[in-house]
Amino acid sequence: MGLSLAAGAGLLSIREAASAPALSMTELRGSIDAGAAGLRPKRGEDQTRRLQDLIEQATRNDQWVFLPPGRYEVGNLTLPDRTRLTGIAGATEIAFAGGRSFLRAEDAGRIELSNLVFDGAGLALHDDAPAMLHLFDVANLSMENCELKGCDKTALRVERCGGRIERCRVSTIGEFAIHALDSTGLAVNANTIDRCGIGGILIHRTTAGEDNSIVTGNRITRTGATYGGTGQFGNAINIYRANGVIVSGNHISDSAFTAIRANAASNIQISDNTCLRSGETAIYSEFGFEGALVTGNLIDGAANGISIANFNEGGRLAIVSSNIVRNISLEGPYVHDSVGFGIGIGVEADTVVSNNVIENVARWGMLIGWGPFLRNVSVTGNVIRNAKIGCAVTVAEDPGPALISGNVFDGTPDGAIVGFRWHDAATKDLAQGAEVLPHLTITGNRAI
């Protein structure tokens, strides 16, 4: 049976459509094609004015500007409100041509950047330009599938911004990859960051307060500490004074100092991260914080595993649960003048430590309290294997109460549970009932 007239007409229509030229991305998006508008990529030619004019024209009509593949050299480029700029991923390059700044935006409701390579070209920025891309007071920032490279300062600094930075690549940067200050609901997701000189992702606030940023699914490798110090630099993810932040599902390796460091950050969640070969403490929650949830992380290789510290500065209230901590060494990047290195998990106040597995620790599997700084700590259901001492607990003057119950210690030659006055052992093995101390409840542990 032959095709009906209607069916034949339909088939013809399909064939005609198939033979017609495909719609370009610019036609689909209703954007301005920079090439069609006369802007051509050319090395050694400053094209700031032409690109600036196209962007401003597009913002008046809420259009995208599409940059065809090639290298466009600019300096002091300013993005107005409603800038939408895109290219071909890995092929459209915006390079710094020199000047006081590379690219900046201020007081914008919306900025969208996608599929672009930003190259600092190894040229020095002016002293008052903190980053290649410096955006501030942007209510809704969308930066997606971009690449940033080749600058001796910070790649991207965003101040008082909301929105998202995702699926971007940042490499060979002298300072920080992404520095977010006083954010207004920012998501930093699925980025790849490699070889940044002093830090990866920073979520900071000028004064402590609600930040509520989400940092998830990022891959961060080889974070350096070229400025030295004892923890200010060299951290893959650093949260400072920012409350309500979630740090989850990140893969971090070879940080000069800490994989995830939260300083004075309350109500923080650090969960399900992989932290490999950290030069100092892998995960920190320190100084004046209240509320830290550290769960489900895998730590392999560090000078300390997890530290919940500084009760003397108000650091308190945490859960440390269901983590794997292994291969902890005595070697750190500086001479430690306090607790020291070689500790699997250390906590001080109002904290539950439960269901963790700790293995191959050079010094202490766990450290409970420090000097008089101990209050309301529960240590239950943990497995500690191959540590010089399984659990060191403070017995210095006037510590608060602690419960150590139902833990398994295997291969702890200098004792399963030992009381310490600061650095000095002050008891025999408390797991064997050597002494009864009024601030400690020790029961049901098994030492093999």
Is 279 a domain residue? no
Q: Are 348 and 316 in contact (CB under 8 A)?
A: yes
- The closest of 117, 191, 113, 102 to 153, measured between CA atoms, is 102
Q: What is the pLDDT of residue 435?
A: 82
Amino acid identity of 113? Answer: L
Quote the tokens at residue 58: 């597009």
SS3 call for 397: coil
Number of residues assigned to the chain: 448
Counts for the chain of helices (H) and strands (E), in that order: 3, 42
Going 346 to 273 to 240 to 234, the CA torsion angle's sign is positive
Tens of pLDDT along the chain (448 residues) come to 343 333 343 433 333 433 333 334 544 457 899 999 999 999 999 999 999 999 999 999 999 999 999 999 999 999 999 999 999 999 999 999 999 999 999 999 999 999 999 999 999 999 999 999 999 999 999 999 999 999 999 999 999 999 999 999 999 999 999 999 999 999 999 999 999 999 999 999 999 999 999 999 999 999 999 999 999 999 999 999 999 999 999 999 999 999 999 999 999 999 999 999 999 999 999 999 999 999 999 999 999 999 999 999 999 999 999 999 999 999 999 988 889 999 999 999 999 999 999 999 999 999 999 999 999 999 999 999 999 999 999 999 999 999 999 999 999 999 999 999 999 999 999 998 878 899 999 999 999 9
The 3-class secondary structure across 80-125, one letter per residue, is CCCEEEECCCCCEEEEECCCCCCEEEEEEEEEEEECCEEECCCCCC
- Structure confidence by residue, pLDDT tens digits, 429-441: 999 887 889 999 9
Q: What is the pLDDT of residue 6?
A: 37
Please, which residues have CB within 8 angstroms of residue 434's CB and are 6 or more apart in sequence? 427, 428
Name the strand (E) or helix (H) holding 176. strand 176-181
Quote the tokens at residue 395: 């017995």
Instruction: Count up the domains in the chain and report the number.
Output: 1
Q: Which residue(s) pair with 119 in the sheet?
A: 95, 149
Is 63 a domain residue? yes
Cα–Cα distance measured from residue 196 to residue 203, given in angstroms and rounded to the nearest whole number: 16
Range of the domain at 38: 30-196
Q: What is the pLDDT of residue 11?
A: 36
Specify the residue for token string 């650095």. 423
Is 373 a domain residue? no
Q: What is the pLDDT of residue 434?
A: 73
Q: Are 168 and 147 in contact (CB under 8 A)?
A: yes
Is 267 a domain residue? no
Is 93 a domain residue? yes
Q: Residue 11 phi/psi, 5° resolution?
A: -65, -40
Please, which residues have CB within 8 angstroms of residue 17's CB and are 6 or more apart in sequence? none
Q: What is the pLDDT of residue 30?
A: 74
Is 420 a domain residue? no
Instruction: For the full predicted model, state whether its pTM sits above 0.85.
Output: yes
Q: Are 362 and 342 in contact (CB under 8 A)?
A: yes
CATH of the domain at 169: 2.160.20.10
SS3 call for 233: coil
Is 317 a domain residue? no
Cα–Cα distance measured from residue 117 to residue 95, given in angstroms and rounded to the nearest whole number: 8
Is 328 a domain residue? no
SS3 call for 382: coil
